[in-house]
Amino acid sequence: MGHNLLKGKKGIIFGALDERSIAWKTALRCVEEGAEIVLTNAPIALRMGEINKLAEVCKAPVIPADVTSMEDLDNLFTQTKAHFGGGVDFILHSIGMSLNVRKGIAYTEANYDFMHKTMDISAMSLHRVLQTAMKHDAINEWGSVVALTYIAAQRVFPDYNEMADAKSLLESISRSFGYHYGVKKKVRVNTISQSPTVTTAGSGVKGFDGFVMYAEKMSPLGNANADQCADYTVTLFSDMTRMVTMQNLFHDGGFSFTGVTNAVIEQMEK
């Protein structure tokens, strides 16, 4: 049930691939809370056609954009402004991709062409989105931008591979651009550091099921799921969190500050 937390607000949602996507769930929650949205994803992802189902439910246009293309982003913001007749109040950056991970290449043997692509798609893209938005003056005052990240940016999770480096860069860009956009237009930029979640991107990580089970046992509240992540994101898009910016916000059931749990000790003693 909605609470009209986003009544009258307009936003762009990047990264809804299928029903499991965090962006998919967030799009639904935003609309439920009274927002109007534009959906976008890479042209290749749109070819799957899944997003049209979401677009129908959300009554949202779908505008293709590969986040590594400035031309695509330029077109996205031009079309979005025309669609809404003005700027937006929120943007969700829910994008990640690593060819080294996809091809099972070990961190120590990274292919650097792939690594460039990973950094561009998964991290620099936030800079590209914010720069283009700023150029178009496309985010309204007190607007809110959220990007999704993972705790491998701070601590080593060996099989998360180069995505850990990409997430560190993403979080840094969120802080740095958050400063500039805050001063210029009171736009806030934050990252949400989410529990491991079963999605297409998540399941691509080697040993993912073990990851999920370990995190579940290491979190006093258990893992946060994608629906709960969508709820949390809505609060960050709402006016209830206006003074929150440049933060990396853990949404992980307490995992990030837990040293060990009885559940893990019991498992070790088996």
Instruction: Give the interface with ligand NAD as residue ranges (CB under 6 A).
Output: 15, 17, 21-23, 41-42, 45, 66-68, 94-97, 121, 148-150, 194, 196-197, 199-202
Minimal distance, residue 270 CB to ligand NAD, in Å: 26
- Judged by beta carbon, residue 97 or residue 234, the one nearer ligand NAD is 97
The enclosing H or E element of 203 equals: helix 200-203
Residue 212 CB, nearest approach to ligand NAD (Å): 8
In the bound state with ligand NAD, the residue whose beta carbon lies nearer, of 60 and 140, is 60
Q: Which two tokens stand for residue 262?
A: 């009885």
Give which of 265, 148, 232 is closest to 196, Cα–Cα. Answer: 148
Residue 226: CB minimum distance to ligand NAD, A? 7
In whole angstroms, how close is the CB of 105 to ligand NAD at the nearest point? 18
First to last CA, the chain: 43
What is the identity of the amino acid at 71? E
Alpha-helix residue ranges (DSSP H) falling in 51-94: 51-58, 70-84
Q: Of all helices (H) and strands (E), which one includes residue 231?
A: helix 226-237
190 with 245: CB under 8 angstroms? yes
Q: Which residue is nearest to ligand NAD, using beta carbons?
A: 202
Instruction: Return d(Cα 169, Cα 184) in angstroms, integer.
Output: 22
Assign 57 to helix, strand or coil. helix
Residue closer to ligand NAD by CB (options 66, 216) is 66
Cβ closest to ligand NAD, residue 15 vs residue 143: 15
- Closest approach of Cβ 51 to ligand NAD, in Å? 9
